[in-house]
Amino acid sequence: MARGSKKQSEKSHNRAAAQNVMGLRAEVLEQPITQTLETNYMPYAMSVIVSRAIPEIDGFKPSHRKLLYTMYKMGLLTGARTKSANIVGQTMRLNPHGDAAIYETMVRLARGCEALNMPFVDSKGNFGKVYSRDMSYAASRYTEAKLAPICAEIFADIDKDTVDFVDNYDGTMKEPGLLPTAFPNVLVSANTGIAVGMASQICGFNLTEVCETAINYIRDPECDLMATLPAPDFPTGGEIVMDTDAMREIYRTGRGSFKVRSRWRYDPKSNVIEIYEIPYTATVESIMDKVAELVKAGKVKEINDMRDETDLGGLKLAIDLKRGADPEKLMAKLFKLTPLMDSFACNFNILIAGTPKVMGVGEILGEWVAWRTECVKRRIHFDLAKKREKLHLLKGLAKILLDIDKAIAIIRNTEHESDVVPNLMEGFGIDQVQAEYVAEIRLRNINREYILKRTSETEQLEEDIADLEATLGSRRRVQGIIVEELKRIIKKYPSPRKTGIVYADELPDEPEDDGVADYPVTVFVSREGYLKKITPQSLRMSSEQKYKEGDGPASEFEGTNRGEILVFTDKQQVYKAKLSDFEDTKASQLGTYLASKLGMDSGESVSAVLYAGDYSSDVLLCFENGKVARIPISVYETKTNRKKLVNAYSDKSPLVKVLVLRDDVECAAFSTEGRALIFNTALLSPKTSRSTQGVGVMTLKPRYKLSDVRPLSETGIKNLARYRVRSLPAAGALLKEEDRGEEQMTLL
């Protein structure tokens, strides 16, 4: 019975426990998701953003700062190297994330890794390479490290209250919240971080150029930044394909991208291409894998073999060419198809006073100058307090000079040690601090010579204090100190530029791909921006075009598969594309949506699509305000690989119609008032500027707009003399019913 009752009791206990669990589970499920996010997820998200992934104005993330400060406290700025494992162990007092994460941080900061323009860790041993995916770094017990000389500018005056110190994670010691960098390290050191809901991607710039730009900015915040800071600089070298307008936009907003390509040379004796610098974002392995894939697929036929010949002399990829192969054309093809040319996306997201903010280069410099000014002022306050304290002590010592024997007598005749200081205070009229200082003087120093030597410093101290006070009161003098420090850094740490600059406008066109067949095609474009490229054979089989509901035909033209088209949009932009990039379609298909294919901006729509041909014709841009611009279509023929042209036409009035003009013809212009006029395009002289506003063609009343312009042959106008004009601009004539070209529908 007892055993049975025990089992029954256990069952009831288990049932009650299960009910409790179910009740708890039900309670959790009933919690609002907003409350769960607020109490559980938001603290984690904020911790990642503020304390882990996003760099601050000193250019460091917390993991970098903790490591470098630990090395500084270990005496590794001036001392000899020590084992990396020792540094990692010491850093764990500040960074609780484990030895593997700490060592990976050290590897990236090390000179041997070549990930930074100005490495902060002077390394010895194998620290891997930033340009290699498979070259692993050695374990921390094998490598050695110390701080690089540049760290003297990172930690200068850190012990003079220049920055705030905070408790470490367990409250047992203090660590700096920021490091008082004497140069804008936030721009010099490349940084990448992925937080929760945001990220940061900062490219590195050249130290000398950044310091010179900071000096110019301090003197004139409206200075041209690109005059001294032309482009980013990467430790892996390469060449930036420079688009000046795009780079200025990155400098202004902190967002955008630019292309970086490899550097190479050709040895005609061995018929070998040697690649010796690659983009910062690429790796040797990814390049070789992609080239091997292209060779295997038959897309690149000029290569016999490709080898990685990287050694102690640096990176080198060797490509053996087949006989008769053109190295220039091959490299142009590889730049297009492989990571030998890659894009770097910028997102200058930085923590300012604990708040993430995306800023342009000028704004970053402004924040750094303000922060550095505060550091210098705090240093001056510290020095001023020390000098005032010393002056106060010396003034007390000077009073002793008046009667040294009296001071000795007071000390000798005082029975209790605790009464020495009060008796000196009473005897000489000095305060407790001064009396303590006098009482601590050794017996051998209580002589006139010693006291005179010490008190002679009083005059110099008073001058120094006055100078420091004047400096604190002058913004210009404080900024002058920052400028002098920057000049000293430029001189002390010369840093030649590693990444070259080639301007996109100076690059030759992409070589014609021999694998692309050339044949006649007919192109149909719909009002909503769908493009169909149809071959003559397919068009003969079915010529009835299919469109989306509510859509319809907008334009039609003939061309060749290798021809280029120009897509004009309502945002004053023109996109270039090759017809070979579009698949052949049938009349029964909807075609390709141009906005998606060309990567148009949000809200941007197609205004017109033109066939560029050999770029020998003119183009008419017709605007709502009645003006028409005649521009040679060759102004859109660039020597670069750019697919997008900004500021492609005037933004003074919305674009109504775009026409290709191969010969002068008569055109008809129509307004919303119901007027029309016929003019000869010979009256319009070509302009070479894309942004030209054009010349007035139709005079419009305030409420009305230009609605359409068409070649006369495409209109139904019969009374030509009524609408024809011989000079421009003109108001035109009201359109008669028979000239509208509209046929009335009849029932059969």
**Residues carrying an active site annotation:** 142
Q: How far apart are CA 186 and CA 365, in angstroms?
A: 9
Cα–Cα distances (Å) from 138 to 89, 98, 99, 114, 235, in that order, read 17, 17, 14, 15, 21
**What is the per-residue DSSP string for 286-344?**
HHHHHHHHHHHHTS--SEEEEEE--BTTB--EEEEEPTT--HHHHHHHHHHHSTTEEEE
Strands 574-578 and 592-593: unpaired
Q: How far apart are CA 583 and CA 590, in angstroms?
A: 12
Amino acid at 588: S
Asked if 365 and 220 count as a contact pair (C-beta separation under 8 A), the reply is no
Strand partners, 318: 274, 307
Strands 239-242 and 500-503: parallel
Here the tokens at position 349 are 């997201």
CA-wise closest residue to 651 among 617, 687, 618, 624? 624
Residue matched to tokens 């701080």 = 147
Biggest distance spanned by C-alpha atoms of the chain? 138
In eight-state DSSP terms, residue 31 is: S
Cα–Cα distances (Å) from 727 to 660, 678, 735, in that order, read 22, 10, 19
Amino acid at 394: L
**What is the per-residue DSSP string for 132-194?**
-SS-PPPPTTT-EEEE-GGGGTTSTTTTTT-S-EEE-TTSSSEEESS---SS-HHHHS-EEEE
Strand partners, 352: 355
Q: How far apart are CA 58 and CA 182, in angstroms?
A: 9
Phi, psi for 650 (deg, rounded to 5): -65, 145
Q: How far apart are CA 431 and CA 424, in angstroms?
A: 9
Asked if 489 and 188 count as a contact pair (C-beta separation under 8 A), the reply is no
Asked if 502 and 568 count as a contact pair (C-beta separation under 8 A), the reply is no
Strands 695-696 and 655-661: unpaired
Angle at 436 between CA 431 and CA 437, to 5 degrees: 100
Asked if 51 and 62 count as a contact pair (C-beta separation under 8 A), the reply is yes
Asked if 651 and 681 count as a contact pair (C-beta separation under 8 A), the reply is no
Element counts in the chain: helices (H) and strands (E): 22, 33
CA-wise closest residue to 484 among 96, 214, 93? 214
Q: Which residues neighbour 371 within 8 Å (Cβ) at sequence distance 6 or greater?
A: 57, 58, 178
